[in-house]
């Protein structure tokens, strides 16, 4: 859901705090979000597979 808002911002060139960003920064945001999602999925899998104490 979060990336769809960023995709809209990228495609429509919506300013953030009055400033628009170059394509490279949108790609950087995409990579950071992918890493964050992967990290969350990893933590969730670790928590699910942890034995009950």
pLDDT in tens, the chain (53 residues): 667 888 899 999 999 899 999 999 999 998 999 999 999 999 998 888 867 65
Predicted pLDDT at 48? 82
Copy the structure tokens of residue 41.
């999925």
Q: What whole-number distance in Å separates Cα of residue 12 and Cα of residue 17? A: 15
Q: Is 32 inside any structural domain?
A: yes
Query: How much is the pLDDT for 6?
Result: 84
Number of domains the chain is built from: 1
Its domain, for residue 38, covers 2-12+22-49
What pTM was estimated for this model as a whole? 0.70
DSSP letters spanning the chain: -HHHHHHHHHHHT--BTTB---HHHHHHHHHHHHHHHHHHHHHHHHHHHSPP-
Does any domain span residue 35?
yes
Residues 2, 33: contact at Cβ < 8 Å? Answer: yes
């Amino acid at each position: 859901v979060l990336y769809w808002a960023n995709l809209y911002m990228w495609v429509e060139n919506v300013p953030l705090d009055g400033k628009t960003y170059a394509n490279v920064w949108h790609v950087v945001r995409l990579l950071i979000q992918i890493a964050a999602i992967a990290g969350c999925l990893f933590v969730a899998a670790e928590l699910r597979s942890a034995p009950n104490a």
